[in-house]
Amino acid sequence: MRRAIRFAARPFLFQVIVRRYNPLMRALLLDKPGPAESSPLHLRNLPEPIPGPGEVVVHVHCCGVCHTDLHIIEGDLALPQLPIVPGHQIVGAVSALGAGARQLKEGDRVGIPWLFSTCGTCRFCVAASENLCETARFTGLHSNGGYAEKVVVRESFAHPLPMNFTDESAAPLLCAGVIGYRSYRLSQIRPGERLGLYGFGASAHLVLQLARQHGCEVDVFTRTPAHQDLARQLGATFVGRAEDSPPSPLDAAILFAPAGALVPHALRALRKGGTLALAGITMSTIPALEYATLYHERVLRSVANSTRQDVREFLELAASIPITTEVQLFPLEDANLALLDMKHSRIRGAAVLTLER
């Protein structure tokens, strides 16, 4: 009997030890994907992360809400693991250092973007294309993300943030801004040319400011009246719907909306030799194209993820312009509502989840 009692007591003792030395944190967990209308994220208490060698723990101040998060919770992307904590536009302060972590110190304010880790040795990493790494891992997809009070990351994938941005205004820069910046570069737009933006959410409202800084005329195509108003306020030359023709042919265009049906409209608006960059991580089916729509050396290309160099360059550029982020704030526990509002185009600019500090 004594042995049985001692054996039964061990699980309780183990739980006490775990709770004492590995305290719990609040996090929103996705157990299985479902439509945003079903509120698939659930508030849980999870063990706080512990940093391994070369890693840091970041106390999360806020986390931007991204369309990729929506694709994750609704199952549009293949999910390598469940349950998972989403979120990859993370702003916070370093709260613990793992062995060998020397680049950062406790209290440093950092941002954590989509790219969580790369191998550093494959053909793409060696060629400065780590966004295409064969074994890349992504924040909030392969590793728990920022819809939580704390998160762990390799210190080389955490980025110091410019001081002229508040936590909440910095969050959308880490994915919406960075992927917009990469899309802008890959569209091959040049200063003074005409750029078309299809869809006008978190990313497009930042790219518009970047393009205007470079002297570009920017035409915005969106069906939402509030988004049209914001585009005009930020200096769009023309605002209309995707079916509308711009005042003159576009030199380049970026499609942010994950709607393949818009691709033919955007291609028809391009001049000869123009490029249409597809910024989304996933997209509905692109309809069959008449060859004439693509002819005359028009280019249709996708944009995949981003590199750490993209993050560094864009943060520096955003601070120098400076770019203004339009944000709507939600407490962490309202993440389901923020995702639903984003799905139905009710967010003006970017949604950001805030946490108690």
Percent of the chain that is helix, strand, coil (3-state, to 5): 35, 25, 40
Answer yes or no: is pLDDT of 19 > 70: no
Domain end: 267, 284, 302, which one?
302
Answer yes or no: is pLDDT of 316 > 80: yes
Using CA atoms, how far apart are residues 295 and 187, in angstroms rounded to an integer?
A: 17
Query: 26 exposed, middle or buried (CB, 10 Å; 0-12, 13-18, 19+)?
Result: middle
Q: Are strands 217-221 and 238-240 parallel, antiparallel or unpaired?
A: parallel
Domain end: 275, 302, 329, which one?
302
Residues 6+ apart with CB under 8 A from 326: 205, 230, 348, 349, 350
- For the chain, counts of helices (H) and of strands (E): 11, 17
Same domain, 291 and 321: no
Same domain, 314 and 246: no
Same domain, 144 and 282: no
Give the pLDDT of residue 22.
Answer: 72
In a domain, 4, yes or no: no
Q: Are strands 270-278 and 299-302 parallel, antiparallel or unpaired?
A: parallel
Percent of the chain with pLDDT over 70: 94
In a domain, 101, yes or no: yes
- Average pLDDT across the chain, whole number: 94
Percent of the chain with pLDDT over 90: 93
Over residues 8-37, mean pLDDT: 71
102 close to 53: Cβ distance less than 8 angstroms: no
More confidently predicted of 16 and 163: 163
In a domain, 132, yes or no: yes
Same domain, 268 and 188: yes
Using CA atoms, how far apart are residues 182 and 311, in angstroms rounded to an integer?
A: 9
In a domain, 8, yes or no: no
In a domain, 30, yes or no: yes
* CATH code at position 72: 3.90.180.10
- The total number of structural domains in the chain stands at 2
In a domain, 6, yes or no: no
Domain interval for residue 130: 16-175+306-354
Same domain, 250 and 206: yes
Give the pLDDT of residue 9.
Answer: 41
Same domain, 84 and 216: no
Same domain, 111 and 203: no
pLDDT (tens digit, 9 = 90+) per residue, 218-265? Answer: 999 999 999 999 999 999 999 999 999 999 999 999 999 999 999 999
- State how far the alpha carbon of 211 is from the alpha carbons of 268, 270, 322, 324, 353, in Å: 21, 17, 13, 13, 27
Over residues 1-15, mean pLDDT: 40
Give the pLDDT of residue 16.
Answer: 40
250 close to 194: Cβ distance less than 8 angstroms: yes
pLDDT (tens digit, 9 = 90+) per residue, 142-167? Answer: 999 999 999 999 999 999 999 999 99
Give the pLDDT of residue 356.
Answer: 80
Give the pLDDT of residue 192.
Answer: 97
Domain end: 262, 282, 302, which one?
302
Same domain, 157 and 260: no
Same domain, 135 and 263: no
Answer yes or no: is pLDDT of 73 > 60: yes
Answer yes or no: is pLDDT of 288 > 60: yes
Give the pLDDT of residue 21.
Answer: 61
Answer yes or no: is pLDDT of 11 > 50: no
Same domain, 313 and 285: no
In a domain, 189, yes or no: yes
In a domain, 315, yes or no: yes
Same domain, 185 and 167: no
* CATH code at position 235: 3.40.50.720
Same domain, 295 and 202: yes
